[in-house]
Structure 1
Amino acid sequence: MEAPQFKQKKSFKGQLTRLGAPVSPFLAPGLPDGLAPSHEATCTPKTHIFFLKVHKSASSTIMNILFRFGERRNLTFALPVNQFSQLFYPFYFVAEVVEGFTDGTSPPFDIMCHHMRFLKVEVERVMPNDTFYFSILRNPIHLMESSFMYFKGTSSFFNAKSLDDFLNHTSKFYDPLRPDSHYSRNLMTFDFGFNHNGRVSTQHTQMLAQIIEKQFDLVLIAEYFDESLVLLKDALCWSLDDVVSFPINQQDASYRSPLSSSTIQKIKSWNKLDWELYLHFNRSFWERINQSMSREYLEQEVAALRERRKQLAKTCLQGEQSVHSWEIQDKLLAPLQYGKAKILGYNLKHGLDEATKQACQSLVMPELQYSERLYKRQFPQKALRLSQAKNRSKAHNMKKQRPLKGHS
């Protein structure tokens, strides 16, 4: 899907200011002078942020951006209770699953970004009134292809020989009453809190889009990720340094085969709700860019962002790129391998000074390890108790499995 042509408009108000502002302390160690920010915003950066982490939509990379931003500024995260990885998913979110939340007496949280099935009335119990709400959508064609590999163990996909096999025999493989059925149909619609098996009509999809527009300040598009980051950092009054990132939880695309036009049409039809939402917000995404900035400004910022990413890769990464899971040397940086997907990761360069190593490590740390680190920072005593209990359980299980002496 091609990006629309821009109308010529003046640059985003208030964003282009003095040049040569100092690089942020986080990025300063060991980085080339060329990474100095291109501008510094005069507005006040937003720090109360909610991100709806939609599955398989580059959302782990956004999550890493939020983790780093919040950690550098000592902000508080609304983390899953007991160090879980998700916020009650796939059930509707309730405030009580946030660690440290006590109705009416909890200190305010700054950032919430773990997987949940969205229910705004419950999110509002946790987050401040001035919270900025945003999410991201992905072309359902690519999302379905990715989901089939990643969620291969779910009830709908498990016995299907291929994605085409599933699409050709959905009545055989798909049971809408199964609790994991959403992984194989209209997954984005489900994550936003709607019925993924709901009726498909122009009126219905328009209503869903209007509800999302009312509840969210911004919806990004994964296929235009760098453009999305420019729009996001302007909306949040952040700098380019705040949104520079490497892809996190990215699947190895070399294992994929090109989809036929027939398969593409079947995916669109099967995920009709997701498809209509994607079309709507792809249009509104470009309308917002067109209204708020010039084409020259967007191209300038995207180019600067990509240059930062390139320089960071030179500074941080062996080979300046991602690697296969079996090539990852530091298990702290090894992403979870799930289903039949091949998730890529990174190796850091040897010999980095400690400050640069920590900065680079944060850029490539998978979400499970990063979440654990943030949990230990916010809830050190409970994190210790959970760790001790886990170790005791592991030791007990190993003892049970150990054969008795004198027996073969």
Structure 2
Amino acid sequence: MSLTPHQRLARDVAEEVAHGPEETESGLGRSTPWLQGYAQGVQNGHWPGGCGGHVGCTIGTESDEYSKADQGEADVGADKAIACPAMDSGFRGAEMEAGQRGRVMNLLFRFGETHNLTFALPARGASQLGYPHYFRAEFVEGFGAPGHAPHFDIMCHHLRFLRAQVQRVMPNSTFYFSILRNPVHLMESSFSYYKDTSPFARARSLEEFLSQPERFYRPLEPDSHYAKNLMAFDFGFNHNGAVSAQHSQQMLRHLEQAFDLLLLSEYFDESMVLLKEALCWDLDSVVAFPLNSREGGTRSPLSESTAEKIKSWNSLDWAIYSHVNRTFWQRVEGGLGRERMQREVRALRARRAQLAKACLQGGGSVPPRELRDKSLAPLQYGLATILGYNLKPGLDQATGQLCRRMVTPELQYSRSLYRRQFPEKAQQTYRPTPPPA
């Protein structure tokens, strides 16, 4: 029997709930955040840069996982895929700090563009893959086109994860990773970015909201997830679900089964080192400037009592973060070790400083009013003031291209990729505004 897209989605959600780790009364769903799916469709069946010299580089295949320790270049076919669901807490996203989310998207955009890989882009040039609805394969431009079976290498736009639907788009062999943020910092950021959403609009401050959340929070409102357990929501769980030790353990087991690598926004450089090792990338592939970062004046310091209220209110998110914070350092100790990690982090920071000196006028970010090139201006959203960059004048062509890619905000970069992959559709989607009569 042929199913419509909506019927297939209903079936997939039912199957995920039926076979996932959660129980019905817990209200926990099964899924993950803005899933960056990454399939390595590379020439000659090898990873760009190879895996040489990386001891214990583990690669997932369609049937199992194997270690390419001490074996030189990893021999991975074109059906190899990587999915990197990273949460995002500030800019149209969920768990990850806006600046960190922007950095992860930027390095994936750059890697894919450099290696001529194909992105699973939102249909009709949208900025997200159907968020906050569960992801559906039909949200991807070009999926299901008559007589065409597209191969996608990277999926890195914000979505609410539903594995069965993602698997309809991406190759079977997929490496999943995500990056999380401390829920305390996340909620402070969310209040600033999403102040106009229904849970926060009537609260004069985050402290007022937390003092009487039942006064402001309506769990059935379609935007309620911005104010409670935002990470859990993006991972596909019910953000209003009941909390118990049993349900928390089920949720965490699911995350461990769904992801090959879980990283921490607060330890971004260490996270990028682990990512580099896992994907067998070179150093420059994981170097990125902060993007979508807020100006310091729009950040609010939090008291210890407010922080504790946030943890209690976001108990699902706190359970996820606390668990990942433990497993992250266990992975460091059991893999690279602390000493090598410190050396790798120093090298990463030195390279970023070198590129900042080469690329950036003044060496750092600037507020929107000081931007010279308005095509590089980040979207301003909510109460926050989002910083951007001025490039140094007179850069040679190669340096200028690299520097521009590193500072291009995600919306502009996404549109550029859409124009490259779908030039005819882009002419209709991004038509210039006609001059006034």
Q: Same fold (TM over 0.5)?
A: yes
Q: 1:380 to 1:273 in 2, by over 3 A?
A: same
Structure 2 residue 279 is the aligned partner of structure 1 residue 250: no
Return the match for 2:142 from 100, 104, 108: 100
1:59 corresponds to which residue? 101
Among candidates 342, 345, 354, match of residue 311 of structure 1: 354
After alignment, is 77-86 or 159-168 more displaced? 159-168
Q: CA deviation at 1:379?
A: 0.4
Which range moves more in the overlay, 349-358 or 148-157? 349-358
Q: 2:430 aligns with which of 368, 384, 387?
A: 387
* Alignment correspondent of 1:239: 282
Report the equivalent of 2:234.
191
Which amino acid in 1 is paired with 2:136?
A: V
Specify the SS of the correspondent of 2:84: strand
1:326 to partner: Cα distance: 1.4
1:90 equivalent in alignment to 2:121: no
Taking the TM superposition and a 5 Å limit, the aligned residue runs for 1:98-177 are 98-102=140-144, 105-177=148-220
Contact in 2 for aligned 1:55/1:187 (Cα 8 Å):
no
TM-score (ref. length: structure 1): 0.85
| Distance across 1 between alignment mates of 2:84 and 2:394 | 36
Tell me which amino acid in the other structure corresponds to 2:276.
K
**Preserved contact between residue 52 and residue 114 of structure 1 (Cα < 8 Å):** no
In structure 1, the residue matched to 2:400 is 357
Q: Is the 8 A contact 2:86 2:180 kept in 1?
A: no
Tell me the secondary structure at the aligned position of residue 85 of structure 1. coil
CA RMSD across the alignment: 2.1
Map of 1:49 onto structure 2? 82
What's the TM-score, normalizing by structure 2?
0.79
Shift of 1:329: 1.2
Which residue in the other structure is 1:34 paired with? none
CA distances 1:193-218 after superposition (whole Å, capped 9, x unpaired): 01000011111111111111111111
Q: Which residue of 2 aligns with 1:373?
A: 416
Larger radius of gyration: 1
SS at match of 2:178: strand
Kept in 1, the 8 Å contact 2:88–2:180? The answer is no
SS of the residue 1:391 aligns to: coil
SS of residue matched to 1:106: coil
For residues 334-387 of structure 1, the C-alpha deviation after alignment (integer angstroms, 9 at most, x for no partner) is: 110100011111110111122211110100110000000000000011101222
Counterpart of 1:214 in structure 2 is 257
Moved more, 46-55 or 194-203: 46-55
Distance in 1 (CA, whole Å) between partners of 2:184 and 2:198 is 20
Q: Structure 2 CA distance, aligned partners of 1:300 and 1:13?
A: 19
> How big is the shift at 1:73?
0.3
Q: Is the 8 A contact 1:325 1:344 kept in 2?
A: yes
1:203 counterpart (234, 246, 249)? 246
Amino acid at match of 2:225: H
**The one of 9, 12, 15 aligned to 2:54:** 15
Amino acid at match of 1:212: L
Q: Distance in 2 between matches of 1:121 and 1:215?
A: 12
| Farther off after superposition, 95-104 or 193-202 | 95-104
Is there any run of 5+ residues in structure 2 with no aligned partner, and where? 1-50, 57-71, 90-95
Contact 2:192 2:298 survives alignment (8 Å): no
Deviation track 1:203-260 (CA, whole Å, cap 9, x = no partner) reads: 1111111111111111110010000000001000101111011011111233323211
Distance 2:357 2:75 in 1: 32
Contact 1:189 1:274 survives alignment (8 Å)? yes
Q: How far apart are 1:16 and its partner, in Å?
A: 7.0
Q: Deviation at 1:289?
A: 1.3
Deviation at 1:187, TM superposition (A): 0.3
Partner Cα separation in structure 1 for residue 209 and residue 394 of structure 2: 49
* 3-state SS in 2 of match to 1:133: strand
* Aligned counterpart, 2:390: 347
Structure 1 unaligned residues grouped into runs of 5+: 1-11, 18-40, 400-408
Deviations 1:39-87 (A, max 9, x none): xx74368973222241221222101010000000000000000000000
AA at the equivalent of 1:158 = A
**Paired residue for 2:378?**
335
Q: Which residue type is aligned with residue 314 of structure 1? A: K
Post-superposition CA distance 1:71-123 (Å, at most 9, x none): 00000000000000000000000000100101895221001110000101100
**Aligned residue pairs: how many?**
361
Match of 1:273 in 2: 316
Aligned mates of 1:262, 1:281 — CA distance in 2: 23
3-state SS in 1 of match to 2:430: helix
Distance 1:42 1:300, change over 3 A: farther
Q: Matches of 2:429 and 2:247 in 1, distance apart?
A: 45
Looking at structure 1, the residues matched to 430 and 161 of structure 2 have their Cα atoms a distance apart, in angstroms, of: 30
User: Once the 2 structures are TM-superposed, how far is the Cα of residue 132 of structure 1 from its aligned partner?
Assistant: 1.2
How many angstroms apart in 2 are the aligned matches of 1:369 and 1:332?
Answer: 8
1:53/1:114 contact within 8 Å kept: no
Alignment equivalent of 2:122, drawn from 52, 58, 80: 80
Deviation at 1:149, TM superposition (A): 0.2
